[in-house]
Structure 1
């Protein structure tokens, strides 16, 4: 079969669309005829080589994708041939104290399909049944393939970790990104007053159309100063910051007393300077979050499937052009997700 691969870490020149061995279907695995996949910044970091990441090469990336079941292992009970499914990429052991407590993302052996083990950006993929969700008839493959990772991540960040309430204020940084545009919609759905940042007029218009009450171009104005002005120096209750080093101090500065900063990553750098006196004096909370529990995935995906939430798509490309798809992400072009389809699906 054909698959997106890389045999070493580096720039986009390491990406190939090549012939690889067909996947082996284990007893609890489902073989998927992949109809579409989608990229996340996680794919960029995996390609570059995250610190401590030890991959078996060649590596097939991809933590988002969807398709049709064509074969099932002997112990599969949840799916049958012909079912429509999408990947939910977080893998937990199911046995440690955190898994037993219903907090799978805290699992001591937690890992992510596409990051630590082979992913789904291929013509076929063998995935454990526990890492699949059903896709209703009528949901298009673009939506199915591009939704699960960012919407489950943003849902856990805002609904579980930050525990936002109606009437609270939420600032979403980078509202044009995958997690950002999902957080924007979820904050609006939860009844929050939503502030959003973007780098162009088009991105800000999209943000306003999808839940933002107030927007600012961070290229033209410091967003922390803008927040202080917009809120009468109060600040916001919650900041969603997955950008990291370049925004961290201003994110903390944007918070009201008792506010919460929630993060799931650092696309612009993982080691920011921080303002410890402001944190303790204003009694702020810094909350980390990763992926979601199975129940949280079910809750948020039901709202994607019924159209309440809408994944934005900035581009759709053949998998053979995945290097170009990485360029879209690294260049911050467009709004939302980049979808890739097996070349055989486009013939």
Structure 2
């Protein structure tokens, strides 16, 4: 089968497009014919170094995907050959203490597609049936693929970790990225008021058109001051951020007393000043989050179907255009998901 895979670590010179073996299908697994996948920051990380992630080379890239069931166990109750499906990319062991209490995302042996095992930038991918979900109706392949990482990550950040309520105000950093746009869409659908930040006026204008209540240009404005001005000096109930060190101080200063900050990334550095006095005096809560559990994915799929939410697709490329697609993601210029069409409809 045709696939995009890394042969080492560095730049695009280690990213190959070519033939790889068809994944074997063990009992209880599903072989999925991939129609579309989208790129995530971890794809760049795996290409650049993959440090700290146990993996073997060559490694097929890609975490999320949508496609059709190619092969499945006879008697499987929920899936059938030819059925459109979306994938949850985290394969948990099912036996550790965290899996047994329903927190598979904390599994001590979790294996992610595109990180610990071959991923979705390929014509076929295999994974356990529990990780394969019927695709919501009315979605394009690329839109459905995007749900498996960015929208699922934002869902857990907002509702499981952040405990967002409809009357609250949320500050979302770095609008234009996939998780940030997903957080805007989901929080708005839940009834919350959303403030967004970016260093790009065009991105801020598009986010405002999508329903953001206020937009702050972090290149020209003091984010915390702008937030306080907009909220009448109160601050926001919840901060959603995946930028890290560069925005940490502004994020902390933007929170109301007792507010919550949920983080899922550190693209600008992972050692910000702790500001411990602010944390205990204002009784702030700092929460880490990654991806989401299977039951959260099921809830997300139902929610986006009922609310008519569609992931924003920035651009779509082919497998042969993998280098250009990775460059687009690395540029930071995208607004929404960089998608890869693996097979034609």
Question: So what's the TM-score if we normalise by structure 2?
Answer: 0.95
More divergent stretch after superposition (19-28 vs 222-231): 222-231
Counterpart position of 1:314: 314
Counterpart position of 1:196: 196
Counterpart position of 1:143: 143
Q: Secondary structure at the match of 1:256?
A: strand
Counterpart position of 1:157: 157
- Work out whether residues 139 and 305 of structure 1, in 8 Å CA contact, stay in contact via their aligned partners in 2: no
Counterpart position of 1:32: 32
Alpha-carbon deviations, 1:26-71, whole Å to 9, x = none?
1112111111111111211122224312311100011111111121
Distance 1:56 1:74 in 2: 32
Distance 1:55 1:74 in 2: 32
Counterpart position of 1:3: 3
Distance 1:253 1:137 in 2: 42
Counterpart position of 1:56: 56
CA gap 1:54/1:100 in 2 versus in 1, 3 angstroms: closer
Counterpart position of 1:272: 272
Distance 2:200 2:52 in 1: 35
Distance 2:274 2:50 in 1: 22
CA gap 1:38/1:307 in 2 versus in 1, 3 angstroms: farther
Runs of 5+ consecutive residues of structure 1 not aligned to the other structure: none
Distance 1:106 1:70 in 2: 30
More divergent stretch after superposition (148-157 vs 74-83): 74-83
- The answer on 1:66 being equivalent to 2:61 is no
- Give 1:1-347 correspondences, 5 Å limit: 1-73=1-73, 76-306=76-306, 308-342=308-342, 345=344
More divergent stretch after superposition (1-10 vs 289-298): 289-298
Question: What value does the CA root-mean-square deviation take over the aligned residues?
Answer: 1.7
Distance 1:273 1:331 in 2: 27
Alpha-carbon deviations, 1:216-270, whole Å to 9, x = none?
1112212122112222332111110111121112111111111110011212222
CA gap 1:323/1:273 in 2 versus in 1, 3 angstroms: farther
1:274: Cα distance to partner?
2.2
Runs of 5+ consecutive residues of structure 2 not aligned to the other structure: none
- Work out whether residues 22 and 124 of structure 1, in 8 Å CA contact, stay in contact via their aligned partners in 2: yes
1:126: Cα distance to partner?
1.4
